[in-house]
Amino acid sequence: MNAIISASELASALAGPRPPVLLDVRWQLSLAAAAGAAPFDGRAAHAAGHIPGAVFVDLDRELASAPGGNGRHPLPDIEVFGAAMRRAGVSADRPVVVYDGGQGWAAARAWWLLRWTGHPDVRVLDGGLAAWEGPLETAVPGPAEGDFSPKPGALPLLDADGAAALARSGVLFDARAGERYRGEVEPIDPVGGHIPGAVSAPTTENAGPDGRFLPAAELRARFTALGAADGRHVGVYCGSGVSAAHEVLALAVAGIPAALYIGSWSEWSSDPSRPVAVGPDPQ
């Protein structure tokens, strides 16, 4: 099953006999918010206009637990996540399509969580809301309660020790911007740099200027050149497990399975006993 869906394919599916459940996960990583400014309001954006029938899902409250020692966006409480998905109409036997404002990171986080907890049919709208050419609505959707019961473990998940080990035995991609990987700047976390052995692979390079993923063959060539070849195990981390989910999605499009280190750099860097590498070299 393809992990992404085009806007034209989505329009056809919505008009068909078995339309997918639509989830709107608009969210932004706001560096201004880290400095105390008001954060982006995804719920207000949803209320101002969304794809007809789409239900808003709050990444910070429903797709993550409260920030702490496990990172800025640790795994959500499974009961909270399951209740949010059922409220949105998610059922095990009905396809789901997730979108965000266009960057794809938040939608990928929802995609990963649903797949990790066992939903068999989840796709991300390629290019997000910006790619949608159909009408928008402001009506508050009222879907029938779904029956999805999350069962974690369907996709590989890394903790800090597992990420460190994979950086030595396989390939661990760092999906953040190159300057954060190198430790030249760090606008959010306590220290800059990367997990020793990790390879810089910014997630922004997986998509074109329009926010759509590069063709599968190009993505596969990119990741193969970075070391994801010869059957090596692959993992990904970022700042807090959001843009890394987008890279896991890109790897899935390329046909390469990958594990997600959900705590990512925000968890790793919170423990001063963990080693930190700086500069362009993985080690």
Residues carrying an active site annotation? 238
Whole-angstrom Cα distance, residue 44 to residue 134? 20
Tokens of 142: 């009222």
Q: Please give the Cα distance from 233 to 163 (Å, whole number).
A: 11
Cα–Cα distance for residue pair 159/276, rounded to 1 Å: 16
- Reported as half-sphere exposure (CB side, CA atoms, 13 A), residue 19 has a value of 15
CB atoms within 10 A of CB 199: 17
Q: At what angle do helices 243-253 and 216-225 cross, to 10 degrees?
A: 110
Phi-psi region for residue 255, left (φ > 0), alpha (ψ -120 to 50) or beta?
A: left
Q: Which helix (H) or strand (E) holds 96?
A: strand 96-99
Residues 221-248 as b or e (16 or more Cβ within 10 Å = b): ebbeeebbeeeeebbbbbbbbbbbbbbb
The SS3 of residue 205 is: helix
Q: Which two tokens mark 209? A: 């200027």
